[in-house]
């Protein structure tokens, strides 16, 4: 049950991670685009952590 509710968030995390890797390979890890995606990924990971803390 819990795993099902985490699946959409896990999917978003994986999608954002793949996007960051792709952009990092294209533009370099310090480009503004990659940093923006990295911050978005951090936010998603923090949401996952907060959710797991409540269990």
> Does 13 reside within a domain?
no
Domain limits for position 31: 19-55
Distances (CA, A) of 20 to 8, 10, 12, 28, 48: 18, 15, 12, 10, 18
> Does 4 reside within a domain?
no
> Does 44 reside within a domain?
yes
DSSP annotation of 31: S
Task: Give pLDDT, residue 1.
Answer: 44
> Does 55 reside within a domain?
yes
> Does 7 reside within a domain?
no
Task: Give pLDDT, residue 2.
Answer: 59
Rounded distance between C-alpha atoms, residue 21 and residue 15, angstroms: 10
pLDDT in tens, the chain (55 residues): 456 778 999 999 999 999 999 999 999 999 999 999 999 999 999 999 999 888 7
> Does 32 reside within a domain?
yes
> Does 9 reside within a domain?
no
Nearest 10 degrees: CA dihedral of 6, 11, 16, 21? Answer: 120
Task: Give pLDDT, residue 54.
Answer: 84
Domain count, the chain: 1
**Owner of token pair 């803390």:** 53
> Does 27 reside within a domain?
yes
Rounded distance between C-alpha atoms, residue 21 and residue 31, angstroms: 12
């Amino acid at each position: 049950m819990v795993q099902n509710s985490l699946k959409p968030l896990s999917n978003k995390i994986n999608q954002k991670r793949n996007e960051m890797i792709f952009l990092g390979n294209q533009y370099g890890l310090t480009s503004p685009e990659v940093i923006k995606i990295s911050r978005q990924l951090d936010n998603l990971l923090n949401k996952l952590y907060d959710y797991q803390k409540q269990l």
